[in-house]
């Protein structure tokens, strides 16, 4: 059996080989625009691990630096907005991206800069993970920036992936069950994204997410994996959607496979640190099965 540490990398290398070499014209490419997690479990670190595990070439534009570990966030330093925009331009104008995602954007200026950079290039395959607060309760998006996200970024999104708390913040009402999730999805889709995924992992019972395209609801349900090591699950899920979109899957199929990917990552999570440890991004092979027994 291929070890967990190299399974994703071997798939990536095989993808390059099958594509005929190291050509960026043939290998799927994805860009993450997000904050850095010094503990390695969330943010751009989780995104790039996910991209690699799924055979996608990953690039990044860093929006913020965090001093962070399994116990929580100790500090945040936001990158100047113009430099965030410069990073995005450097990647897209040379390497390009078949899909991109946003994560922690920190403030109003950065959100506007990201939206400007993507809109000016008519970028289409955008996944917005509206990160607002860490699992430890540390705020990761300033209050004034939430309106900017609604006004400037959501209209550019192909997919938006709020959890229950973020859905409440965007919709403006409490989300306590499946019918609330559907009502919130309808309202959020009215803000511009073509698809809305609301993650129901914080509800009791089985882990059920919903996907809405403006007409049809799909429920994605998996048995709950009981683990305290769930740091970075939201980042990992949205990154997996992005990677599968970059590989040419439809939104519905990308979301379904991303759900399977993150469930596997939680089931084989890593007991690292003294708090909420990370998921295991390498516990997957590209036949849709865990690489670990």
Q: What angle do CA 270, 272, 277 make, to 5 degrees?
A: 70
- The 8-class DSSP code of residue 149 comes to I
Active site residues: 199, 230, 232-235
Q: 217-222 and 207-212: which strand pairing?
A: antiparallel
Are 259 and 222 in contact by the 8 Å Cβ rule? The answer is yes
Residues pairing with 180 in the sheet: none
Question: What values do phi and psi take at 133, rounded to 5?
Answer: -155, 145
CA distance 96 to 100: 10
Distance of CA 278 to the CA centre of its chain: 15
């Amino acid at each position: 059996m291929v070890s967990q540490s190299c399974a994703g990398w071997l798939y990536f290398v095989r993808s390059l080989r099958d594509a005929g070499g190291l050509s960026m014209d043939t290998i799927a490419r994805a860009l993450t625009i997000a904050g850095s997690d010094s503990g390695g479990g969330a943010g751009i670190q989780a995104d790039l691990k996910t991209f690699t595990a799924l055979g996608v070439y990953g690039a990044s534009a860093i929006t913020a630096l965090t001093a962070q570990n399994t116990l929580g966030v100790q500090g945040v330093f936001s990158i100047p907005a113009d430099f965030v925009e410069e990073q995005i331009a450097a990647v897209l104008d040379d390497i390009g991206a078949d899909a991109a995602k946003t994560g922690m954007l920190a403030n109003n200026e950065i959100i506007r800069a990201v939206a400007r950079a993507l809109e000016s290039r008519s970028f289409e395959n955008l996944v917005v993970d509206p990160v607002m607060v860490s699992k430890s309760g540390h705020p990761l998006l300033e209050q004034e920036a939430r309106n900017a996200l609604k006004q400037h970024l959501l209209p550019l999104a192909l997919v938006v992936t709020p959890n229950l708390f973020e859905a409440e913040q965007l919709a403006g009402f409490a989300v306590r069950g499946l019918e609330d999730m559907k009502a919130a999805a309808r309202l959020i889709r009215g803000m511009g994204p073509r698809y809305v995924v609301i993650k129901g992992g914080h509800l009791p019972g089985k882990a059920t997410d919903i996907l809405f395209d403006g007409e049809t609801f799909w429920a994605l349900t998996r048995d709950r994996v009981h683990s305290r090591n769930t740091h970075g699950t939201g980042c990992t899920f949205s990154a997996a959607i992005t990677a599968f979109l970059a590989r040419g899957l439809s939104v519905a199929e990308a979301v379904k496979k991303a759900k399977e990917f993150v469930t596997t990552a939680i089931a084989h999570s890593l007991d690292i640190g003294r708090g909420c440890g990370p998921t295991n991004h390498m516990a997957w092979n590209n036949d849709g099965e865990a690489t670990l027994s």
